[in-house]
Every structure is written in C-alpha cells, then in structure tokens.
Amino acid sequence: MSGILGAITILKKTFDKYAGEDKDKTTLSKKELANMLKTELPGAGGDKQAEVDEFFKMLDEDGDGLVNFKEYIIFVATLAMIINS
C-alpha cells in the first residue's frame, strides 16, 4: 500500500473508531470528537467545556451539530499544515 493510500486508510479507520459511539456511524458528535481529541491528541482537546464547544462549532462547517467525514478531513489537513509550517 502506498504512503498516501495508507494515510487515507488510517484517517478513515480513526474516524470510524470514534464515530457512532453515540448513534450515527457517519458523524462525530461533540462527545465523540472530545473523546477522539483526548485520546489521539493528548493535551489538544481543551479541558473547559467552552473551549470544546468553540472548537466543535469551528469544525461543524454546515452547522448541523455533527462533524462529518469531510469536516474531519478538513480539520486533519489544517492540522497537518500547522504542524509542518
């Protein structure tokens, strides 16, 4: 498997691991996102509810109260650009 294909597979598996803990396996709820951040990016999830709420609002581009795979990928790509700048 190529590097890019492998990276895409890991991103999808990570999303799937946390999506659906509440209900819908195609989206991340605020609770699921907080759990993912706490586990996958220790120290980056924010300890205060207001920080989590603001971060979630920023990711929830369409305002439906959930983070879908597209919104998640935009987040990961933005994070990659920040880390590598």
In the predicted model, what is the mean pLDDT of residues 53-68?
Answer: 89
Average per-residue pLDDT for the chain:
87
Burial of 73 (0-12, 13-18, 19+ CB in 10 A): middle
- Check which CATH number belongs to the domain holding 21 and give it: 1.10.238.10
The answer to whether 22 touches 31, Cβ cutoff 8 Å, is yes
Query: Cα–chain-centroid distance for residue 37?
Result: 7
Q: How many domains does the chain have?
A: 1
pLDDT of residue 46: 57
Domain region containing 8: 3-83
Q: How far apart are CA 55 and CA 4, in angstroms?
A: 27
pTM equals 0.82
pLDDT of residue 4: 92
In the predicted model, what is the mean pLDDT of residues 63-77?
Answer: 93
Q: Tell me how many degrees the CA angle 70-18-76 measures, rounded to the nearest 5.
A: 40
| Beta-bridge partners for 67 | 28
pLDDT in tens, 3-30: 999 999 999 999 999 998 888 999 999 8
